[in-house]
Amino acid sequence: MEPIDVELSEAELELPEEPMLLNVGPSHPAMHGTVRCVMELSGELIHRVDVQVGYLHRGFEKMCERGTWAQVFPYVDRCNYVSPMLNNVGFALACEKMLGIEVPERCQWYRMALGELARISDHLTCDGAMAMELGAFTPFLWMIKGREMIWDIMEEETGARLTHSFGRVGGMAAPPTKGFKEQSLAVVEHILSIVSEVEKLMFGNRIFLDRLEDVGVVSAENAISLGWTGPCLRASGVAYDVRKAAPYLKYDEVEFDVPVGEKGDCLDRFIIRLEELKQSVRIIRQSLARMADSGPINVVDPRVMLPPKEEVYNTIEGTIQHFKIVMEGLKIPAGEVYSYTEAGNGELGFYLVSDGSGTPYRVRIRPPCYYITGGLEHVITGQMMADVVPCFGSLNMIGGECDR
């Protein structure tokens, strides 16, 4: 019989000398946004990487210049489709800042409660997807179950699970439903129990921790220079939260903490989201306790608000007012404003330029994701190929917001 092991001298093995070029994406299952990474690998190490975005570009800013101010709301829904309520409120606040109006107190508490619910759903999705991409499917299902409960509340309140278009300049589309407080309190309770179960499951799991710890470390200095905001910046140890630094709505009247990470690695970004989620629950409880059960939800201002339907159908003034606001759009005084709020991923800014007509002259959205994804190259260069998945997951790139 012939010997099985053939003698091979080392010199006969031909190993490729030039670095290998690898395409990940545009729709790789591990990339939960449509993004393409062209990587130059040397062995398993990433030498160079080119992150390419734009696959979900829908011309958001161009479309905004074609409609009225109120018609922008459905578009901002589709920017960050995991927490659309925060975008709705952000845009409404920017318009209200230009108009110089403030919504009634009840509406402010309502916006905060809805916004924090949306933030919880955002963080649940991000952490759940991140765990799933690393092979932990159970926490993903638990977290998505929690998110589904929040979307049930949203459906009850707004009529739509995902794209609510619920914000209005000068208020909200409808007042809170009767069961809103009760349902929300029950759901956040349930979500806290889900989070504690997830923590027990994940933080005792060595495989999970090994894949996140000291992977994708970003220093505070680099994170600031890259324009990172939100959980990613806070994981690097910078306690910057728009809700604390420049409080809007009633955030200066509620108690909550800003959790801050130490190392800025993927694990910190994972934990920060779970901690923030608990803070959101605190805010929701306080907001619901202080939200009145009755009272106006919209400002009384015929320039911006549609008149009640009885007036539209029965009086000529009401009909004209309705017609003017719908056809010409509400008029926002000429000028410019930069208004920013804390969205799921960080500072969501709206730079609006108005020429005084019913159509926006320019709507610039400052998407937190765009700048965070811009830092992906910095995060994964020099890492192992397998670390791309947790790094990318921890940044929570939302395609709609990044590419607009």
Q: Residue 2, Cβ neighbours under 10 Å: how many?
A: 4
Among 62, 161, 190, 200, binds other proteins (CB under 8 A): 62
CA separation for the pair 281, 17 (Å, rounded)? 54
- When asked if residue 40 is in the footprint of other proteins (CB under 8 A), the reply is no
- When asked if residue 106 is in the footprint of other proteins (CB under 8 A), the reply is no
Among 260, 264, 366, 397, binds other proteins (CB under 8 A): 366
290 phi/psi in degrees, rounded to 5: -100, -5
349 phi/psi in degrees, rounded to 5: -110, 145
Nearer residue to other proteins within complex by CB, 93 or 267: 93
- When asked if residue 337 is in the footprint of other proteins (CB under 8 A), the reply is yes
- Burial of 199-216, coded b for 16+ CB within 10 Å and e otherwise, reads eeebeeeeebeebbeebb
CA separation for the pair 296, 400 (Å, rounded)? 34
Nearer residue to other proteins within complex by CB, 110 or 371: 371
Among 163, 82, 95, 41, residue whose Cα is nearest residue 345: 82
- When asked if residue 392 is in the footprint of other proteins (CB under 8 A), the reply is no
Quote the least distance from Cβ 24 to other proteins, whole Å: 18
- When asked if residue 65 is in the footprint of other proteins (CB under 8 A), the reply is yes
27 phi/psi in degrees, rounded to 5: -130, 60
The answer to whether 109 touches 284, Cβ cutoff 8 Å, is: no
| Helix, strand, coil percentages in the chain from 3-state DSSP, rounded to 5 | 50, 10, 40
- When asked if residue 370 is in the footprint of other proteins (CB under 8 A), the reply is yes
- When asked if residue 361 is in the footprint of other proteins (CB under 8 A), the reply is yes
- When asked if residue 66 is in the footprint of other proteins (CB under 8 A), the reply is yes
Among 46, 89, 92, 98, binds other proteins (CB under 8 A): 98
Considering Cα of 224, then 225, then 227, then 232, what sign does the dihedral take? negative
Nearer residue to other proteins within complex by CB, 194 or 242: 242
- When asked if residue 46 is in the footprint of other proteins (CB under 8 A), the reply is no
- When asked if residue 53 is in the footprint of other proteins (CB under 8 A), the reply is yes
Q: Tell me, what amino acid is at 200?
A: K
- When asked if residue 322 is in the footprint of other proteins (CB under 8 A), the reply is no
* Binding-site ranges for other proteins (CB under 8 A): 52-54, 57-59, 61-63, 65-66, 97-98, 222, 224-227, 238, 240, 245, 335-338, 340, 347, 349, 351, 353, 361-362, 364, 366, 370-371, 373-375, 378, 403-404
